[in-house]
Amino acid sequence: MSKERIILGIDPGTTVMGFGLIKVVGKTMHFLQLNELDLKKYDDHYLKLNLIFERTIELIDTHHPDEIAIEAPFYGKNVQSMLKLGRAQGVAMAAGLSRQIPITEYLPKKIKMSITGNGNASKEQVAKMLQGMLGLKTLPKNLDATDGLAAAVCHFYNSGKVSVGKSYSGWASFVKQNQDKIG
């Protein structure tokens, strides 16, 4: 019998956090869910971070993913935006690490390349490809959810390859790989 595993993909953000879940049976992936956590109505940045943590824990406790794939922050010109995005990503990662779930980060270009074959594809192109691949009847209005799903699908395509990005199996692994940044 084929081993089953569930992959949770997360597109972190402090305005909207998108997520998607797939189940892998053997070498076939099956769509489970995609959705988003809308944080626009909250002004307090720390409240948003807490909500991201709580929602990620809720997803983990409900779906019991075997692995988490998360979109890494991209390096933009706005330092404040990048700092907030990094915090959102860190909180989602902390939730996974607190449940001992292996986490792999993927750069946005790597995710887009895995789904569309083009690292510069638009959100709409990624969403349309996922719709075709997974047989989604409709696409969400906001595409943060499909970005989260894309991270999970990217992880499926890259599983078993030698170099898939930064991967953490727990706090000790995270600390060991980031000693130069910790101090």
Known binding-site residues for Mg(2+) equal 11, 71, 144
User: Which residues carry a binding-site annotation?
Assistant: 11, 71, 144
Side chain identity, residue 140: P
Catalytic residue among 36, 67, 71, 105: 71
* Closest to 112 (Cα-Cα) out of 104, 121, 99: 121
Q: How many CA atoms lie within 13 A of 3 on its CB side?
A: 2
71 is catalytic: yes
144 is catalytic: yes
Helix/strand/coil for 43: coil
Catalytic residue among 11, 36, 67, 105: 11
What is the strand order of the sheet 4-11 is part of? 28-38, 16-25, 4-11, 67-71, 103-106, 167-168
Residue 72 phi, psi dihedral angles, 5° rounding? -80, 150
Distances from the Cα of 51 to the Cα of 7, 85, 171, angstroms: 21, 14, 21
Tell how strand 16-25 and strand 28-38 pair up: antiparallel
Catalytic residues: 11, 71, 144
